Structure formats: structure tokens, C-alpha cells
Chains A and B, each alone.
Chain A
Amino acid sequence: TQLLEQSPQFLSIQEGENLTVYCNSSSVFSSLQWYRQEPGEGPVLLVTVVTGGEVKKLKRLTFQFGDARKDSSLHITAAQPGDTGLYLCAGAISNYKLTFGKGTLLTVNP
């Protein structure tokens, strides 16, 4: 059973467009992380959100944690080809393990 559902699974857009990817669960998380992974590489941590309703910005990326701490979204403004990659959300329920979604594979075409 996948605790974290990510949508869409695949997304192909043109450079300059905006996009939002979603991470949803029926479970409450103590924290949630977003990672970006390129082929053959390990995931790179983008952000950690902890408080319900929290919004964090990282340049053109905006992350939001749901009020109930069960869901999150990642919005990218004016996407660039360098944003291409697999975006993974991961939720922490216990102190020692992260539960990952299957990821959203983003392709930004020049």
C-alpha cells in the first residue's frame, strides 16, 4: 500500500510554463520533504516542511504543507530545462524512516 500518492506521474511542458505537482496521503506526517532526482543519481533534498500551512520558497519553487499535515504541493514558476527530473515527496511518520511517493517525472522542453 502506497501511503503517499503523487500526481501527476508524468508531466511534459514547454520552457517558461508554470506547473504544480501534488503529494497526498491519508496519514498525518510530522514532516515532509521534497527531493529531486536525476537518472542514476541519488535524491537531492530541496526542502523540509514541518508546520501545517507552512509555505517555503526556493527561487522559482514554492512548497506548501497542508493544514492537516497530510498533503503537500510543489509549484514551479517559469520552468526551465534544468528543472527536468524526478520529483519525490517523502513523509516522516516515525523518527527513523521516510515513506516516499512514486514521484513525478518532469520534462521541460526548450
Chain B
Amino acid sequence: GDSVTQMEGPVTLSEEAFLTINCTYTATGYPSLFWYVQYPGEGLQLLLKATKADDKGSNKGFEATYRKETTSFHLEKGSVQVSDSAVYFCALSDQEGGGNKLTFGTGTQLKVEL
């Protein structure tokens, strides 16, 4: 079945550092890809998405490009802030069986320090 693999955390960075969180996937067909963010004590919020190969999703300074050739969707941000501290989940849509569930990676915790 479909699966998502993302780098383990926690990732600890200083404020204004460059962020990369790696995500690779295995899927049949052409799934849509997502990054969700979960702040402490809250639900998941959609951060960005890409629905086809070479699409770039972006939001709040975060970017990720759908790379079909490498089956990857790495999350990047040029300059992180303390407020970006959260858990980040990579996910893909799976339309098998007529539904469209999301399959999530295990999450990567990001800690940004002053």
C-alpha cells in the first residue's frame, strides 16, 4: 500500500536558520501531496499542498515541490522563527477503494531556539 517516510526528529534550529524536512513517498497512481502542521495541544492544519508533478506548494514562507522522479516532497523554509516550533506531517492522498483517505508520515518535531 501507499506509504510516507519522513525524517525523524526532533530537529533543533536557531532562529533565522534554513529548514529542510525530508519526505519521500511510495504510491500507485498520482497522489496529491500535503504538509500539515500540528502546534502543541491543537489539531492538524493544512500548511501547503501540491496536486501534480512539478507543482510547488507554498504558504507562510514554507515551500515544497512535488518531485515525481525522486518521489519526494521536501519541506523548506529560508528563515525559521520560534513560532514555527511544531510537529510537521507529510501526507499523501489515497483514492483506493473509492475513498480518499490521507496517509501520514510519522511526523517531525521542529524546535526553534533564540
**A, B bound:** no
Give the B-binding residues of A (Cβ under 8 A): none
Give the A-binding residues of B (Cβ under 8 A): none
